[in-house]
Amino acid sequence: MSLKGKHIVLGVSGSIAAYKAADVASKLVQAGAQVSVILTAAAQQFVTPLTFRSLTHRPVVTNWFDPGSDLSIQHVTLAETADALLVAPATADLMAKLAAGMADDPLTGTALATQAPLVLAPAMDAHMYEHPATQANLRTLTERGALLVGPEPGRLASGLIGMGRLAATEAILAAVSTALGRSGDLKGRTVVVSAGPTEEPLDPVRVITNRSSGKMGYAIAEAARDRGARVVLVTGPTALSKPWGIDVRGVHTTAEMLACVQASSGADALIMAAAPGDFRPETVAPDKIKKGPEATLTITLLKNPDILSAVSGFTVKAGFAAESRDLLDNARAKLTAKGLDFIVANDVAGDEPVFGSDLNKVTVLDAGGGVDDLPRMTKAELAGRILDRVVAALAGKERV
Ligand SMILES: Cc1cc2nc3c(=O)[nH]c(=O)nc-3n(C[C@H](O)[C@H](O)[C@H](O)COP(=O)(O)O)c2cc1C
């Protein structure tokens, strides 16, 4: 779910990673959230309230009994108004207190009083993290519904390499969006999304591929996650980073993509936003093809199977048609031939770039004959429109 207008309470506890919480606060504000920060006493040894007051333009809570603090008058105010409570970084100590139900400072008190979802981003020394006490506390908290993001393996402040680094800011924000959208209109649904290009090998070093960046498919996958769906993202090679909270399955060839999509048969929806190659070389040379005296090289290409036509077992099937001419006619033919619920027609020969861009201009055609000519919008906005259609199509089929 979008963070815009949401009230996020950010608790910061006494980890050496507390300085990274300033970036988390800043990115939450940039995403349009209203951010209220609570610092534990230990956190204030690492970072100052001024940092967070400056970033959030809001008072920072440091002490329950401070007569100047709103919380001294109404000690559960933040708990009642929070849309989500995020603790980043969450120390071993803080999580032990939460697991035990303690409420001896503003952060633990708010955690106990709030009905809002709890997101924990632990950060600590690897041995502290692996300790059975910490692991038991984490289990208790996740069983109660807390969402964990990280920690990550890597170099720790101690100099050791191990598990315990605070998750990246992008992953933490994604976890908050996921927590906010847990009860969204795709709750309990499984959505399979394909994205990116495929690569058909020619020899050990060369491939035939296309210009798909994967941005559209990744945007749909993230939007579905943030509306409560379990998401499987089947992706060809892209430069995009692995989105948090999504089951990402990397493939190379169209045949691999087909097998991977079919393996998720039984899911509620399949949205094919990938650009799988239509052709593959008939033979893959075992060694690098050498330049000879000939002026030309002839490669015979075989047609690949069409994934959307080949797969079955999805309640709703939707596709994309990237066309450089006769856009709507070609798209309608594909919609019918592949038995889709709707198709997103994309003019890739227009003046504005589609591949790699953050924007897209499409027309959606549906099986009932509807034509929706959408204005140019971000791929994230378009992902929302596409998922609205998936939700409506699922509801329509279940009414029947
Ligand atoms: C330099 C230093 C770094 C620390 N880093 C961490 C850490 O990364 N994670 C952690 O769980 N505890 C860490 N601690 C220990 C906590 O600060 C300590 O458990 C404290 O009581 C936590 O209080 P709080 O959970 O109320 O913030 C560190 C302590 C020191 C002195």
Same-domain check for residues 233 and 116: no
Same-domain check for residues 391 and 301: yes
The answer to whether residue 1 is domain-embedded is: no
Q: Read off the pLDDT band of 44 (50, 70, 90).
A: very high
Q: Count how many domains the chain has.
A: 2
| pLDDT score, position 77 | 83
The answer to whether residue 185 is domain-embedded is: no
Q: Are 152 and 165 in contact (CB under 8 A)?
A: yes
> Is residue 214 classed exposed, middle or buried when 0-12, 13-18 and 19+ CB atoms within 10 A define those classes?
buried
Q: Does residue 353 register a pLDDT over 80? A: no
Q: Read off the pLDDT band of 71 (50, 70, 90).
A: low
| pLDDT score, position 72 | 54
34 Cα to the center of ligand 1, angstroms = 27
75 Cα to the center of ligand 1, angstroms = 25
Instruction: Give one DSSP letter per residue of 207-223, joined into a string.
Output: EE-----SHHHHHHHHH
Q: State the residue range of the domain holding 252.
A: 190-399
Residue type, 92: A
CB-hemisphere CA count at 13 Å for 264? Answer: 29
pLDDT digits (tens, 9 = 90+) for 95-110: 999 999 999 999 999 9
Main-chain dihedrals φ then ψ at residue 24, nearest 5 degrees: -60, -45
Distance CA 92, CA 126 (A): 11
Distance CA 327, CA 95 (A): 55
3-state secondary structure of 188: coil
Which CATH number belongs to the domain containing residue 237 in this structure? Answer: 3.40.50.10300
Distance CA 239, CA 355 (A): 13
Ligand 1 site, residue 92, Cβ cutoff 6 A: yes
Please give the residue that has the higher pLDDT: either 58 or 327.
58
* Alpha-helical runs (H) found in 274-366: 307-310, 327-337
End position of a domain, from candidates 136, 162, 180: 180
Same-domain check for residues 230 and 141: no
Same-domain check for residues 279 and 139: no
Ligand 1 site, residue 128, Cβ cutoff 6 A: yes
Residues with a known catalytic role? 210
Same-domain check for residues 29 and 101: yes
pLDDT digits (tens, 9 = 90+) for 215-273: 999 999 999 999 999 999 999 999 999 999 999 999 999 999 999 999 999 999 999 99
What the block records as the tokens of 311 is 């797969």
154 Cα to the center of ligand 1, angstroms = 18
pLDDT digits (tens, 9 = 90+) for 139-181: 999 999 999 999 999 887 878 788 899 999 999 999 999 999 9
Same-domain check for residues 137 and 194: no
End position of a domain, from candidates 125, 156, 180: 180
Same-domain check for residues 225 and 351: yes
| pLDDT score, position 354 | 61
Same-domain check for residues 258 and 338: yes
Q: Does residue 125 register a pLDDT over 60? A: yes
Distance CA 258, CA 308 (A): 9
| pLDDT score, position 67 | 63
* Ligand 1 atom with minimal separation from the 157 CA: 8
End position of a domain, from candidates 153, 180, 207: 180
Ligand 1 site, residue 319, Cβ cutoff 6 A: no
Minimal-distance CA residue to ligand 1 atom 19: 93
Main-chain dihedrals φ then ψ at residue 184, nearest 5 degrees: -70, 180
Ligand 1 site, residue 126, Cβ cutoff 6 A: no
Mean pLDDT across 190-215: 95
